[in-house]
Amino acid sequence: MQLGRVTGTVVATVKTEGLEGIKFLVVQPLDKHEKPVGKPLIAADAVSMAGPGELVYFVASREAAEALEPRFVPVDHAIVGIVDQVSA
């Protein structure tokens, strides 16, 4: 899992089967000091409560598909937690 900052929301009316009702957010991956690293990505919000400005942690690949209900919807990144506090 990696840290990320939610920087935007994605609106898509037409989606493939399985993605209905899933919220997609723009996430900037961060290093452990909360500095941006790499390029922004689009992640599904598996906690349904994340929003712009929030510090989150996210999973990728198969684990992202596991994070959502129903399982194995076609996503490649998913936010699985909102960070209250990080020490590093």
Partner 1 sequence: MKIGRVAGNVVSTINHPFFDSQRLMICDLIGPDGEPLGGYTIAVDTVDAGVGDMVLIIDEGNSARQMFGLTTGPIRAVIAGIIDSIDMA
Query: Which residues contact partner 1 (rule: CB under 8 A)?
Result: 1-3, 31-32, 46-47, 49, 57, 59, 61-64, 66-67, 71, 78, 80-88
| Token pair of 73 as six digits | 């919807």
Residues recorded for the chain: 88
Residue 27 CB, shortest distance to partner 1, in Å, is 14
| Token pair of 80 as six digits | 């699985």
Residue 40 CB, shortest distance to partner 1, in Å, is 18
Calculate the alpha carbon distances from 64 to 45, 71, 88 in Å: 10, 9, 25
Residue 35 CB, shortest distance to partner 1, in Å, is 12
